[in-house]
Structure 1
Amino acid sequence: MIVVFGAIGVIWPNSVSPVAPHIPELLGVVMFLMGLSLKVEDLRVLKSAPYSVLIAVVAQYLIMPLLGYAIAICLNLEPLLVAGLVVLGSVPGGASSNIVAYLAGGNVALSVAATSVSTILAPLLSPVLVLWLVGSRVEVDAGAMVTQILKMVLVPVFLGVVVQLVLRQVVERLAPVVPWLSAAALAVVIAGIMSGSSDTILQSGLIVVIAVMIHNALGFCLGFLAAKLAGLQERERRSIAIEVGMQNAGLAATLSSLSFGPLAALPAAVATIWHNIAGAIFASFLLKFRDQDGSKV
């Protein structure tokens, strides 16, 4: 669905351009639906295994922003694309990482907890990292970024959690359609962003795709390595590798578009498609290997 809507945004930009002014609200819908899916029991790992969550979050916010900056400089991307790749690296993990962690035989509870904690920390860490890494190349309004993340992420997620607690039975009945609603809203967001940079995508799309693919692959590898060096078990390594490699690309695309314009949103727009493809491939790769005790994970 996301691939189709993204293509529509590039090929027929005028058909979806009216969506562009409403992208923040649509992303808020996505995050609200994420809040609906979040259960208190999913966060028990914060008490039972805080060290694992700490490693996941530190790796997330240390590896990916620096990787984004280094790759952008090595590929000699123009300043706005540098900013876009850094924003992609500086946002929290995406909710789809939880599904991929399950498919890969990882620790799903750890993945959910790490995504939740990194999302809560995003208003503080994401703007600071972007300002630090690209503030000398482009103008960064860190204060505005904080406000945008609060409005588009934390408030909707909080409201989703509250609704889920108050109307638990209703939410449980809607649970099967929530992922589809979230995917549909995200697809419209990407179509709107793509429509604003359709000409540029055709000119510089290939190098951006390469940058996003390298960023994602190295994120998987370095995330796994960080978890291994931290002494964590195989299931935790898998979850952390996936959590680090897969970003909340929808947030990154919206944040980049609002802060720097549609060109800067291109890396994240590409990532909304590629991260899910790569996640499935990486999960299949991991499932071919056995845990250290020889049992299938």
Structure 2
Amino acid sequence: MQIELHKNTAAILALAVALGFFLPEPAERLEPLVIPALFVMMAFSMAGIELRLGAGKEAATGFLLNYLFLSGLILLLAPVLLEEEALVLGFVVMAAAPPAVAVVPLTKLLQGDVRLALYSEALSYLGSLVLTPLIISVFARGARVGVEETAEIVLLLILLPILASRQVGRLKIDPAIPINAGLFVVTYIVVGLNSTAISTEAAGVLLIAFARTFLSGAVVYAGAVLAGVDRPQRIAYTLFASFKNLGLAATVALLLFGPRAGIPAAVCILTETSFYILLSALAGRRDGDCRIRARP
């Protein structure tokens, strides 16, 4: 079976991380590419999302799981488990970021409720225009970052890509190519700039990354099972409770607080990729069990 690498996000992220560790030197020279790479990635990612509100209570639940539950968990753990201000600020930026745009296609791949994911994503990105600068300005106040500075970055990296997405959607370009290319560039640069720190100083960061990805996702999935939520909705809710837009978080952290503030996003790229691989394996096992039971 032929594998199209440009559509395999997990493989591309793994390659970017590996190169960041084993060939980090070019990352510093390539740092100016972070903003244009993220802009292109965001524009093509949002091209398939209709930015209108819908699905009512379900969409609001996905939004709250990401911005209340997941962001709250990050903001609670970071100041307790970390002493270095730059690392804490990196997690503050992550908490302020909207959910990963990849939640929608990942929901589809895992046979979840795509419509729910789509509306929750739209609501989250519209809300992020206010929430992202607000959270950063409130929780990073000691770093002397004001609302105006963060609002300018949000306009550049969220609002303008959203506006551009209305046009790039008309282009006859496979969106997987620019999306994964942008993910590769941002991930490589962030990991390359912090390769030494990630491998030697990130124990506390890794603990938070595990909790805000695996633990949060497992808690929400288990809670949804107990509440009698159907599996397609459980999948969507689990992803919103465990995935942040780490490309955006890494870029904003680099711009506002320097390279070390990008370490949390770099480490969480590893845990989110691992968590998706786990969910995919569990989904495959479930499908296999269903096929076995269906045999006469």
Q: State whether TM-score is above 0.5.
A: yes
1:225 to 1:134, Cα distance in 2 relative to 1, 3 A: farther
* Greater mean alpha carbon deviation, residues 146-155 or residues 4-13: 4-13
AA at the equivalent of 2:109? L
Counterpart of 2:47 in structure 1 is: 36
Counterpart of 2:29 in structure 1 is: 18
Task: Identify unmatched segments of 5+ residues in structure 1.
Answer: none
**TM-score computed with the length of structure 2 as normaliser:** 0.83
Instruction: Check whether the contact 1:197–1:266 (CA below 8 A) recurs between aligned residues.
Output: yes
**TM-score computed with the length of structure 1 as normaliser:** 0.82
Q: RMSD over aligned Cα, in angstroms?
A: 2.7
Counterpart of 1:161 in structure 2 is: 166
1:130 to 1:219, Cα distance in 2 relative to 1, 3 A: farther
Tell me by how many angstroms 1:102 deviates: 2.1
1:277 to 1:180, Cα distance in 2 relative to 1, 3 A: farther
The one of 76, 80, 83 aligned to 2:82: 76
Is 1:145 the counterpart of 2:150 in the alignment?
yes
1:106 alignment partner, SS class: coil
1:52, 1:123 → 2: CA distance? 21
AA at the equivalent of 1:246? F
Is 1:59 the counterpart of 2:70 in the alignment?
no
Instruction: Check whether the contact 2:136–2:150 (CA below 8 A) recurs between aligned residues.
Output: no
AA at the equivalent of 2:73? L
1:150, 1:10 → 2: CA distance? 32
The one of 10, 13, 20 aligned to 1:2: 13
Instruction: Check whether the contact 2:209–2:268 (CA below 8 A) recurs between aligned residues.
Output: yes
AA at the equivalent of 2:166? V
2:223, 2:156 → 1: CA distance? 32
* Greater mean alpha carbon deviation, residues 257-266 or residues 221-230: 221-230
Is 1:201 the counterpart of 2:198 in the alignment?
yes
Tell me by how many angstroms 1:285 deviates: 3.4
AA at the equivalent of 1:196? L
Describe the superposition over 1:250-284 as per-residue Cα deviations: whole angstroms up to 9, x where unpaired.
10111111111111111112222321220231344
Alignment coverage as a number of residue pairs: 278
The one of 262, 271, 275 aligned to 1:274: 271
Counterpart of 2:4 in structure 1 is: none
Counterpart of 1:98 in structure 2 is: 104
Is 1:215 the counterpart of 2:212 in the alignment?
yes
2:239, 2:284 → 1: CA distance? 13
| Same amino acid, percent of matched pairs | 23
2:131, 2:245 → 1: CA distance? 14
* Greater mean alpha carbon deviation, residues 109-118 or residues 223-232: 223-232
1:103 to 1:10, Cα distance in 2 relative to 1, 3 A: same
2:92, 2:282 → 1: CA distance? 27
Instruction: Check whether the contact 2:13–2:273 (CA below 8 A) recurs between aligned residues.
Output: no
Instruction: Check whether the contact 1:9–1:15 (CA below 8 A) recurs between aligned residues.
Output: no
Describe the superposition over 1:172-191 as per-residue Cα deviations: whole angstroms up to 9, x where unpaired.
xx33xx21321122111122
Tell me by how many angstroms 1:219 deviates: 2.7
1:206, 1:32 → 2: CA distance? 34
Task: Identify unmatched segments of 5+ residues in structure 2.
Answer: 1-11, 288-292
1:289 to 1:195, Cα distance in 2 relative to 1, 3 A: closer
Instruction: Check whether the contact 1:101–1:283 (CA below 8 A) recurs between aligned residues.
Output: no
The one of 222, 226, 251 aligned to 2:248: 251
Instruction: Check whether the contact 2:77–2:208 (CA below 8 A) recurs between aligned residues.
Output: yes
2:160 alignment partner, SS class: helix
1:86, 1:219 → 2: CA distance? 17
